Structure 1
């Protein structure tokens, strides 16, 4: 059984059309059709119902789908095993900067212990940049803040609460709780202009008729955190971004009245139609932990 035919079948199932599958596989539509027809001839069954631009699985196609997924996954795992013997396997991971700085260092040692011959290449950037790399097949999968796109599958890993963080000796540390009015009187550092998180913070001030004292706006939370560490202002940041700084008393969370109830969602993303691998399973389990 030709593995490329199996792959074409799964792409058509996931994307819902031969044209979209051809685009994702960088093939022509007739090439994808030929692969499906070859698979149908080999098994003497009809896999798809075709009516104009609409494509749907037949009853036998529905039955075959989970088996095809297992075949492709087994093939990938076998290929990985052979590559372990002969050449190092390179796994390319895309990650948002804050995740690569604050989360992955706690996971990668365990990964290298389990997959000793796998060579990891880590590409970092803004979540939108990593999304594009996943779509363009520049990385095997990505770990980013939530980004929606029709060409990817996404799995929610966790929701990370946002809080107000200040440097040591800040006057807010003498208060039990602070209000949004209090925050408006101090230099504020915001990240990721136009994002849902940015809009939420602005809404806090807008609801009170307050103009925030924005000292700087930057394009990522790591830069915002470092500016707070330098004493240039205060910032609303997710918990994973400041975990080490809190442990070493370099940054402190300030309680607010009323409490802020918002999160940054962290997702695991991969190209639609691509079967999950043992590597994806490992990272998902560790991130959930």
Structure 2
């Protein structure tokens, strides 16, 4: 039994079809089928059932899955540890767009100033996706907004941000400085996708006050949301870090929502069992110094 068998098994589970797993792994479908058959023969169990042309994982497959993931993750960590023995400065990092367009560049500049060149691969996504990518060993570290409840993650607060309600110059509310929640009733809200920390926190405030806003536009990109608000298409909740330029230029305005201030911590996160190469330790130390 090899790591290859486990990788194929995991791919079939995640893709739901052997053909799609073959496409993901760039191998033939017969090779996928053979690997699954070898796994089943080795453990003397049935891992999948085909019902109505649909591939479904069995109870024994469910039992094997977490162990297969752990085995692959341990292998990936071992590979990375050995490759990092030469002290190649390489980091795979996931951040939100708020972090990616603000503090990330400062951190990377500071790292290179102290330690030298750094080969960085950056993925911009929401917190939930970054957590998933860290768990699957596709990212080393994440810098995310809010608090991560996953006990498998180490998290280090590095700075604080505030979510603010913004409006464009052509919107009637632009003339206001302070508004009430009642004034938001039936206004158009341009929001982030489901699972976004920004969206979840603001929707909870609306729910607590029985306020309904129209959700005509959902977008994964905060930059696109800024442009939509500037064109008067609605209101939005955005990180104060990413709207400073627009506020200074007057194309966006922050509306103070009664006496509500929505602060959130920016955290550096990584898996608690992650092997920390020298470059990763140095980057974490740099983030710790920023927190202090």
TM range (shorter): 0.5 to 0.7
Matches within 5 A, 1:251-266: 251-257=252-258, 259-266=259-266
Asked if the contact 1:193/1:219 (under 8 Å) is kept, the reply is no
Aligned equivalents of 1:106, 1:249: Cα separation in 2: 26
Change (3 A) 1:231 1:19: closer
Aligned equivalents of 2:150, 2:205: Cα separation in 1: 28
Asked if the contact 1:97/1:125 (under 8 Å) is kept, the reply is yes
Offset from partner CA, 1:63-107 (integer Å, 9 cap, x none) = xxxxxxxxxx9x999843xx5xxxxx3222222222112321333
- What does residue 91 of structure 1 align with? 91
Aligned equivalents of 1:140, 1:237: Cα separation in 2: 27
Asked if the contact 2:127/2:197 (under 8 Å) is kept, the reply is no
Listed as ranges, the gaps of 5+ residues in structure 1 are: 1-17, 28-72, 84-88
Asked if the contact 1:186/1:234 (under 8 Å) is kept, the reply is yes
Asked if the contact 2:128/2:195 (under 8 Å) is kept, the reply is no
Aligned equivalents of 2:212, 2:242: Cα separation in 1: 26
Aligned equivalents of 1:105, 1:230: Cα separation in 2: 29
Runs of 4+ in 1 over 4 A off after TM superposition: 18-24, 75-79, 194-197
Aligned equivalents of 2:135, 2:195: Cα separation in 1: 23
User: Is it true that 1:173 corresponds to 2:222 in the alignment?
Assistant: no
Asked if the contact 1:238/1:263 (under 8 Å) is kept, the reply is no
Listed as ranges, the gaps of 5+ residues in structure 2 are: 1-66
Aligned equivalents of 1:280, 1:112: Cα separation in 2: 14
Offset from partner CA, 1:100-135 (integer Å, 9 cap, x none) = 123213333232222333222222222222212222
Deviation (angstroms), 1:220:
4.7
SS of 1:107's equivalent in the other structure is helix
- What does residue 151 of structure 1 align with? 152
Change (3 A) 1:281 1:127: same
Deviation (angstroms), 1:268:
0.4
Normalization by structure 2: what TM-score? 0.62
Deviation (angstroms), 1:221:
3.5
